[in-house]
Amino acid sequence: MQQAFPKVYILVLNFNNWDDSRGCLESIFKIDYPNYEVVFIDNGSADNSLAKAKAWVTDKTPLTIIETGKNLGYAGGNNAGMKYALEKDDFGYLWILNNDVVVTKDALRLMVKHMQENPKAGICGCAILQSDKPNEILTMASTYRPWFAHPLYIEGYRPYDLAKLKQYQEIEKRMDLVSGASVLVTKEFINVVGLMSEDYFLQFEELDWAIRGRRKKFTLALEPRAIVYHKCGATFSQIEGALKGKQTIYKRTHDRYNTRGRLLFTWKFYPYFLPTVYLALIGDIYDRIKVGAFDNVSIMLEEIGHHFSTPFRWLARQLRKN
């Protein structure tokens, strides 16, 4: 018999951003789901986040705190939380949340119920709304265009209207990934597919996970009635931190890991699209040159150079093995 409320581990990954993490945690402890444990993972913060988290804990806000000791990136940090849950082996689902989100009271309950009704699903997403425009959708899910290595938001930057619920539910049939800001995943999916790939550091991990899941016959699910409010861009802002130089509309951290992720993901899953991805990156570099973002250009070229050396490094490893 299926358990009505299987245990859920809720993972909140923090890096130098306790203020947002506290808001996320406060919203979690107001949810109406009766069976969960919150795991706070600190990814090597240098802003006293750990001390603040420990001081915040009370009987009403119990936290399991994991210290990674250094910044392991999105996948590495969340994998630390997943390993903890897998060792306990007492759960049905993991809910991975960006620390810059605020969850609604019924979001987890609605997603778990939807997953129970769709046993082939391994990952479930929800409606991600903008925290500063709470009636506007940031994304429901995304499709992926491999020829340019670009995910595209579905229903992005449009009013959220539950009168369109049937339309929103149809998104399940064409989505390629859910937003990494809120990912509900089954224990079975993790046991069969494995943890997130740590090759990317930031970006493309959720797409990598989704495509690996599809190859193992898992589907993606979406519960559009479940809502999470996202403070878009906070993660990049924290990592960007004290970087000096000319500020533009293009964040250097984004350009580094977006360039790396597009090339690595394409090399891994769609190598025949590499020529068109190269052309797309040339266009992106031209856009940076037009606004004088030469630091970004340098970073992108560095990542492209690293990509082109990948086959030679792979060959060198094979020769050393022999």
Q: Is the pLDDT of residue 195 over 70?
A: yes
On whether both 179 and 45 belong to a single domain, the answer is yes
321 vs 53, which has greater pLDDT?
A: 53
User: What is the average pLDDT value for the chain, to the nearest integer?
Assistant: 92
Q: Are residues 139 and 116 in the same domain?
A: yes
pLDDT at 319: 72
Same domain assignment for residues 294 and 158: no
Query: Where in the sequence is the domain holding 76, given as residue range(s)?
Result: 8-236
- Give the model's pLDDT for residue 320: 78
Looking at the structure, do residues 170 and 270 belong to the same domain, yes or no?
A: no
What CATH number did the domain enclosing 171 receive? 3.90.550.60
Q: Annotate the chain with three-state secondary structure.
A: CCCCCCCEEEEEEECCCHHHHHHHHHHHCCCCCCCEEEEEEECCCCCCHHHHHHHHCECCECCEEEECCCCCHHHHHHHHHHHHHHHHCCCCEEEEEECCEEECCCHHHHHHHHHHCCCCEEEEEEEEEECCEEEEEEECEEEEECCCCEEEEECCCCECCHHHHHHHHHHHHCCCECCCCEEEEEHHHHHHHCCCCCCCCCCCHHHHHHHHHHHCCCEEEEEEEEEEEECCCHHHHHHHCCCCCCCCCCCHHHHHHHHHHHHHHHHHHCHHHHHHHHHHHHHHHHHHHHCCCHHHHHHHHHHHHHHHCHHHHHHHHHHHHC
Question: Domain for residue 3, yes or no?
Answer: no
* Confidence bin at 318 (pLDDT 50/70/90): low
What's the pLDDT score for residue 3? 79
- In this predicted structure, the answer to whether residue 317 has a pLDDT above a threshold of 80 is no
